[in-house]
Structure 1
Amino acid sequence: MTPEHVIADHPLTYDVVVVGGGNAALCAAIAARRAGASVIVLEAASKFYRGGNTRHTRNMRCAHDAATATLSGPYPEEEFWDDLLRVTEGETNEQLARMMIRESKDMLDWIAEQGVRFQPSLGGTLSLGRTNSFFLGGGRAMLNALYLTAERLGVDVIYEAEVVALDIDTDRFRAAIVQQPDGRLRVRGNALVAAAGGFESNIDKLVEGWGEIARNFLIRGTPNNRGTVLDLLLAGGVDSIGDPTQCHAVAIDARAPKYDGGIITRLDCIVFGIVVNTNCERFYDEGEDVWPKRYAIWGRLVAAQPDQIAYIIFDAKSANLFMPSLYPAIEAASIGELAGKLGLDAERLSATVTKFNTSVRDGDFNPDILDNCRTENLTPPKSHWARRIETGPYYAYPVRPGITFTYLGVRVDHEARMMMKTGGPAQNMYAAGEIMAGNVLGRGYAAGIGMTIGSVFGRIAGSGAARHAAQ
């Protein structure tokens, strides 16, 4: 075994070194290789756990002009922009965001050309049949297809290859220092694409922004996204963008594991019930908008509650309207009994449910649109899908903030080149995916947009890195 302090040189210098192993990294690697570059992918995980958060994805959001075999209608660029503007509340780089949306129109065909297959969207509360394309077999199947294509093209992949240092000369990448099980390796390259994710699995780093409440957060995705590469880049003079507390955070089942629970721990039933904290108080409008546009606000909302936990309460009428979590709902014959099982005050919870029921104004319930079932004289209101919780048995899910990925990252330009703190672009350093998502997502989230950012900027970064290497 090579001692840790000894660094062996890789026998080859690559045109493009890609750090990361998920969607963004693979799109970059494939694009660079198709442009004629020699490419190596450095993936910190083992082969089985390769792919970072992409393993847990289901779909991507792309603009398109007409219905397809798997999409029910058009999704124009301007509508995509309006959706992004609404969820980010204007916290986005409009030039980069509009470029991403424009480029996304070609991505579905390009991704399919790399071997990825799509299926019609799922039903329930997702409401994504027109806007989002779903991967046949989910994120792992998508990853497998991309890896197969990359390897057939001649891309080299090293697993269990954690980048622990970067050799950066002013604004130029020279080499990555990689920790492997048997020692350290220097991998030299003419260009770098950083696609190594955010820092959501580094709890201490989350605490720096959020405070001690972050220790109660659950991490939906890979335990490998610790922000090491981001820290190395920022220390090397790359400019940062974003707020360390902004992230893709959803409400997930509180019984989920600390890391890597994935999509099956997410709960899509909030719109069909009410959500209370440990004081049995509602704290936000559960029916504000269609679920794909608002589901990602609930992680932050729950994070602001006592002990960072909340409870979704609903009744038998809604039990089959959504995709369930991995864990069964907690069931009881009465609201009082349900409160006891949750460790809540039965009298308080019963009073909250009664007050909600009294405020409900009947309408034409329709889970697929913004219907007219609402509350009156209730704070906070429930704007849509409000129905009395009165039909037993009664159900609950405990939820905690589930962090998917963080938005603090590296600043890039329209060519996906990293911007230096000195003001100009790096000579040969590019970024794609979660590590630069804050350029587009200053806050908020819309379903499937993380994969869009990774795919679009991955292809741009890989192509740009290959062009630079060729020069």
Structure 2
Amino acid sequence: MGTDVLVIGGGNAALCAALMAAEAGARVLLLEAAPRAWRGGNSAHTRNLRCMHDAPQDVLVDAYPEEEYWQDLLKVTGGRTNEHLARLTIRASSTCRDWMRRHGVHFQPPLSGALHVARTNAFFMGGGKALVNAYYRSAERLGVQIRYESPVDRLEIENGRFVAAHVKGERITAKTCVLAAGGFESNREWLREAWGQNARGEWPADNFLIRGTAYNQGVLLKHLLDDHQADGIGDPTQAHMVAIDARAPLYDGGICTRIDCVSLGVVVNREARRFYDEGEDFWPKRYAIWGRLVAQQPGQIAYSIIDAKAIGRFMPPVFPGVKANTLPELAQQLGLDVEAFVATLNSYNAACVEGQFDHTQLDNCHTDGLTPPKTHWARPIDTAPFYAYAVRPGVTFTYLGLHTDDTAAVRFAGQPSNNLFVAGEMMAGNVLGQGYTAGVGMSIGTAFGRIAGSNAAHAALNTGARPHASA
């Protein structure tokens, strides 16, 4: 069978591409690897979109101009980003919400526990699941054909041009194709290969939990990179990686397994030692570094420690914390060396400099003479009851992907394909070389999904036309 535009994937980026292509008049077929009940990939677990805006806009307060957004992204990536593509994403985030609303997405003010993002992020009414369902309904109304349980295992590509996709022995042809099938975070063997064995003889990836879908195996990504020598970008160990509850399920734990009290207390490893500044910056700008930090600790486990003063100041996770009336009792319950644990907490408490605590800003509560320091929100952990949350690395999505440009074209030996495009996690590494800031993944997927869908439709309906760059 043949179609104008074949979209491979079923999450936000794939749906944006399918909707744009259908709106342009193309016949569209979307292939989702998951069953219908699990459709949407990681997008079903999302909550919001980071949006540039120069003035207050409905659910967005104040302003969040382009330059501030860019500086936030530059800081978390440490400069490992393509500025042209990053700014393209930022500008697109300022104009996409009306289009999203036309396809059934509703927005709401942020929840009270969503600290520091009321100004920068637009929250989806009903979360990512509602967004995904709205897009599927709209796609069906526009005539997009949708096939579930349809994993693509290989592509036919000739001289940089897409020819056909193979699904369970079936050959599907199309004039153009959009790849939006996610990263490889669910592929344990690939994660093991990427992370290797550490100096302690551990295989860190064996202790990683996957926050999202079990269906992002990276089959097409590996196929494109290894078999077709598509141009790649990114480090296979870099990912959106969060410290999540060690009791979380292996897959699809989602947002509720995240531990958000890190900046309100201290974090110690299995040896009862602190290893990083818990108060370095606002949580939405720093939460995604903690998975990688924990991955580097013995046993890939750590413990977030707070006292009664922190309760009510963070979004509570789904599982209750370990609770004790004394610090030695807490250490015993965690199976940590009591003497080392108490010594660490006593050193921290003694180093805290009294200031004006304010968790809504970078306050003056810090430590003095402590390594590592705690730069902000440093208050002694001295008020019972005490609480602890064991955390492990939770991988959201990987950053290794396909190199692209502002047309979203896949590149082979530096040359852009004229009928094969990429969006979402499969190309996010062009913008995210490392680090993360809340909501930017959805910004990238929405921007490049729309570009890819538009250009795929244009190429399909105008044979021989070259894809055009987005402003």
Q: Verify same fold: TM over 0.5.
A: yes
1:206 aligns with 2:194: no
Pairing 1:115-154 to 2, within 5 Å after superposition: 115-124=104-113, 126-154=115-143
Residues in 2 aligned to 1:42 and 1:307: alpha-carbon distance in whole angstroms: 39
Quote how far apart the aligned CAs of 1:125 are: 5.5
Deviations 1:118-151 (A, max 9, x none): 0001223531000000000000001010111110
Equivalent AA in structure 2 for residue 282 of structure 1 = R
Contact 1:125 1:368 in 2 (8 A): no
Among 50, 59, 67, the residue aligned to 2:56: 67
What is the aligned partner in structure 2 of residue 423 from structure 1? 414
1:453 aligns with 2:444: yes
What is the aligned partner in structure 2 of residue 94 from structure 1? 83
Equivalent AA in structure 2 for residue 271 of structure 1 = S
What is the aligned partner in structure 1 of residue 148 from structure 2? 159
Pairing 1:194-233 to 2, within 5 Å after superposition: 194-211=179-196, 212-233=203-224
Equivalent AA in structure 2 for residue 297 of structure 1 = I
Residues in 1 aligned to 2:286 and 2:239: alpha-carbon distance in whole angstroms: 14
Equivalent AA in structure 2 for residue 174 of structure 1 = V
Equivalent AA in structure 1 for residue 170 of structure 2 = L
Residues in 2 aligned to 1:237 and 1:279: alpha-carbon distance in whole angstroms: 44
What is the aligned partner in structure 2 of residue 340 from structure 1? 332
1:262 aligns with 2:251: no
What is the aligned partner in structure 1 of residue 69 from structure 2? 80
What is the aligned partner in structure 1 of residue 466 from structure 2? none
Deviations 1:414-445 (A, max 9, x none): 1100111x221012000000000000000000
Equivalent AA in structure 2 for residue 268 of structure 1 = D
TM-score normalised per structure 2: 0.96
What is the aligned partner in structure 2 of residue 110 from structure 1? 99
Among 275, 279, 283, the residue aligned to 2:271: 279
Residues in 2 aligned to 1:158 and 1:63: alpha-carbon distance in whole angstroms: 35
What is the aligned partner in structure 1 of residue 433 from structure 2? 442
What is the aligned partner in structure 2 of residue 359 from structure 1? 351
Contact 1:330 1:396 in 2 (8 A): yes
Deviations 1:295-339 (A, max 9, x none): 111011000100000000110110211111111111011111111
Deviations 1:372-401 (A, max 9, x none): 111101111101111110110100000000
1:171 aligns with 2:160: yes
Residues in 1 aligned to 2:270 and 2:116: alpha-carbon distance in whole angstroms: 31
Deviations 1:212-238 (A, max 9, x none): 211111110101001001112222231
Residues in 2 aligned to 1:341 and 1:111: alpha-carbon distance in whole angstroms: 48
Deviations 1:156-182 (A, max 9, x none): 000000001111112111111112xxx
Residues in 2 aligned to 1:251 and 1:275: alpha-carbon distance in whole angstroms: 11
Among 37, 44, 53, the residue aligned to 1:48: 37
Equivalent AA in structure 2 for residue 465 of structure 1 = A
Note the residue ranges of structure 2 that are not aligned, 5 or more in a row.
197-202, 463-471
Runs of 4+ that moved beyond 3 A = none
- The DSSP-based 3-state class of the residue aligned with 2:421 is strand
What is the aligned partner in structure 2 of residue 191 from structure 1? 176
- The DSSP-based 3-state class of the residue aligned with 1:389 is coil
Contact 1:125 1:291 in 2 (8 A): no
Deviations 1:15-42 (A, max 9, x none): 1000000000000000000001000100
1:38 aligns with 2:27: yes
Residues in 1 aligned to 2:46 and 2:83: alpha-carbon distance in whole angstroms: 26
What is the aligned partner in structure 2 of residue 294 from structure 1? 286
Equivalent AA in structure 1 for residue 418 of structure 2 = Q
Quote how far apart the aligned CAs of 1:114 are: 1.2
Among 357, 377, 380, the residue aligned to 1:388: 380
Residues in 2 aligned to 1:103 and 1:197: alpha-carbon distance in whole angstroms: 21
**Corresponding residue pairs, total:** 455
Identity among equivalent positions (%) equals 58
Distance 1:214 1:96, change over 3 A: same
- The DSSP-based 3-state class of the residue aligned with 1:48 is helix
Equivalent AA in structure 2 for residue 469 of structure 1 = A
Residues in 2 aligned to 1:434 and 1:311: alpha-carbon distance in whole angstroms: 30
1:236 aligns with 2:228: yes
Residues in 2 aligned to 1:259 and 1:124: alpha-carbon distance in whole angstroms: 24
Contact 1:127 1:368 in 2 (8 A): yes
- The DSSP-based 3-state class of the residue aligned with 1:69 is coil
What is the aligned partner in structure 2 of residue 406 from structure 1? 398
Q: Please report the RMSD computed on the Cα atoms of aligned residues, expressed in angstroms.
A: 0.8
Equivalent AA in structure 2 for residue 435 of structure 1 = M
Quote how far apart the aligned CAs of 1:408 are: 0.3
